[in-house]
Structure 1
Amino acid sequence: MESVKMGGQQVRVEMALFGEYLETYWEDKLTGLETITDYVTNLFNIDVSKVCVCKDSFKMIEHVDSRQKTPLEKVVYVDWNVIPSEDEMNYILRYCLCSTQICIYSEALPDFRFSNNFRRIDCLDISNSEWVTIDNLLTMDGIDFHLDNASLTNSDLNVFVKHWLSGGCPRLKLFCARTGSVDIFQVLAGLLDNAVLVEDRGDYTSPFGYNRILSFGYDIQRADGVTATVCEQVNGTLVIAVWPETTHNYN
């Protein structure tokens, strides 16, 4: 099963087995979604790989988690109208059995903070990441990180770059943080003597299919010889792209 998705008054279950949609209608959408999911997974003896939910269907993540033989590959939370609770955010970030990709496309509560360490997650994509702190970044262990509307300062980003140079976040391939006010010289403060200015690096594609054009930046190198290009983009985004580039797509 490729994914489970719910929208409007209809419950839609996407089945990669047939490459088509099965559409049913229920008075209670969540009950319908759980029933159809249980029926199809039992019928074909398969697990769900992707869950895409909103506030009304949040419990679908817990339902799938509770009956899976294998962890979910991808969890997507999308809801621009209702803000998830602190418990729901903590569940997505810490407790749900998904180790590959988590996407959160929603606002967060103004006072929300994630005080725990991030668990190992290959790809994390957060559309409103004002709550993400430098302490959070320093606990991350992943491949792709995408933080939109971040509140990180240039000093925070400088700490993260130095963290990577010292061996932190060793699996990192692409890091993007849009703060709106990136100053590349502050981000690379104390590192420019060993940085190499590069122009027109070209396209970079991450393992999860994210693409960035690296038109200008600085190459920095870790003690083990691994090189990353650090650049500031016009929309106030800091990009760290680690070489060699890979086009393997996990989606």
Structure 2
Amino acid sequence: MPFPILRTPSVVLSEIISLLQPNEIVTASFCSKNLERLLQNHFRQRKPLKWRLHMIDYKSCGQAHIKTSEDAKQIPVLLAKHMSELKRQLSWKCPVLYSNDQILGTKMTVEYVTDLFGLDIHELLTDRNSAWAIQWVNNRQKNSLYNFAFNKTRKCNSDADEALDFVLRNARASNYCSIEGSVSDNFKFDGKLGPMRKLTIPSNGHWVTGDNLSNFDAIEITIQGSRLSVSDLNVFLRHWRAGGLTRLEWLHLNFEEHTFRERFDEDLEVVKTDERRVYHCSYGYKKVVHGGYSVQRVDGVKALIQCDLRRFVMVVWHQQ
């Protein structure tokens, strides 16, 4: 016997909707226009404050995911596939929109979910073929992204260089930004990045110069595959001591080759120390830093440096 959900009292209806998962709500919304409008009105009045919308446009697949809490897994609620995928007869746990225009399909998918739940896009994951999504998100919502990730490409050519340059100049995220791009040895970036809480370059960080490092506005910076030299870092430390990068608390460089040897310029007044400090990183975990070198900024703020042949770690203690 059909359930008369459209004639259900609002109190009962609210309880019913609260029992559904986001993917079930999206699926139900396709039953009729009346039910879609009912669900839209429900979420306009009772916006799910802890729900977060994640947009993925990666490997030619557009996806809209929802996280119902900070610890919950992402739940795929609507997918956009190219029409050529229709013959594969794969089973999905949510509705799929098939079209001949992948970009248009992805836009329609995300717009449908944002309109249904009344949510902004919280996080964006892209690759080199979906740089359009960055500009599209920036233009369609006032709030900036919270998290952004750009996944690496395999080819190191001029197209890959252009894609990463576009991402660095246009992608913005207030909390976490991950930039992973395979670019040529000749790639250069002359702009600024940030502000954000955490910047991560998980691989191929050889393009980051000393000037780049001085223009990254983040609290935590981690770079893998760095080619920065001792002289580069001396210039960076001089910039920091003079008052640059006032928000920086954590810097971790892993070098491409294990050839780094510390030779700090005398004017930096770097001294050996046996200090032991605990740094509380983002996402709740902590790191113990013991020994190394101490350096002090002109305003009295101190930092502890640890380095060897393969890494350089700098921890800044803003609270004395």
TM-score range with shorter-chain normalisation? 0.7 to 0.9
Root-mean-square deviation (Å): 2.8
TM-fit CA distance, 1:66: 1.9
Name whichever of 16-25 and 89-98 sits farther off: 16-25
Matching residue's letter, 2:271 = A
Listed as ranges, the matches of 1:60-99 within 5 Å are 60-83=133-156, 85-99=160-174
Structure 1 pair 202–178 and aligned structure 2 pair: CA distance change class (3 A)? same
TM-score normalized with structure 1 length? 0.82
Which residue of the partner structure matches residue 248 of structure 1? none
Matching residue's letter, 1:47 = D
Q: 2:107 matched to 1:34?
A: yes
Q: 1:196·1:220 contact (CA, 8 Å) conserved in 2?
A: no
Which residue of the partner structure matches residue 313 of structure 2? 239
Q: 2:176 matched to 1:101?
A: yes
TM-score normalized with structure 2 length? 0.66
TM-fit CA distance, 1:239: 0.5
Q: 2:5 matched to 1:5?
A: no
Return 5+ residue gaps in structure 1 as ranges.
246-251
In the TM superposition, structure 1's runs of 4+ consecutive aligned residues that sit over 6 Å from their partners are none
C-alpha separation in 1, matches of 2:170 and 2:184: 19
Listed as ranges, the matches of 1:129-144 within 5 Å are 129-144=205-220
User: What is the number of equivalent residue pairs in this alignment?
Assistant: 241
Q: 1:3·1:50 contact (CA, 8 Å) conserved in 2?
A: yes
Structure 1 pair 231–194 and aligned structure 2 pair: CA distance change class (3 A)? closer
Q: 1:173·1:207 contact (CA, 8 Å) conserved in 2?
A: no
Of 187, 204, 213, the residue aligned with 1:112 is 187
Which residue of the partner structure matches residue 32 of structure 2? none
Q: Where is the helix percentage greater, Structure 1 or Structure 2?
A: 2
1:106-143 CA distance string (max 9 Å, x none):
21133210123445343321221211111222333321
> How many percent of aligned residue pairs carry the same amino acid?
26
1:73-131 CA distance string (max 9 Å, x none):
22101134245633322222122343443211221133210123445343321221211
TM-fit CA distance, 1:152: 0.7
Structure ID, larger Rg: 2
Higher relative contact order (CA 8 A, sep 6+): 1
Return 5+ residue gaps in structure 2 as ranges.
1-51, 83-100
C-alpha separation in 2, matches of 1:45 and 1:174: 36
Q: 2:123 matched to 1:50?
A: yes
Listed as ranges, the matches of 1:95-244 within 5 Å are 95-126=170-201, 127-179=203-255, 180-184=258-262, 186=263, 188-190=264-266, 195-198=271-274, 201=276, 203-207=278-282, 212-233=287-308, 236-243=310-317
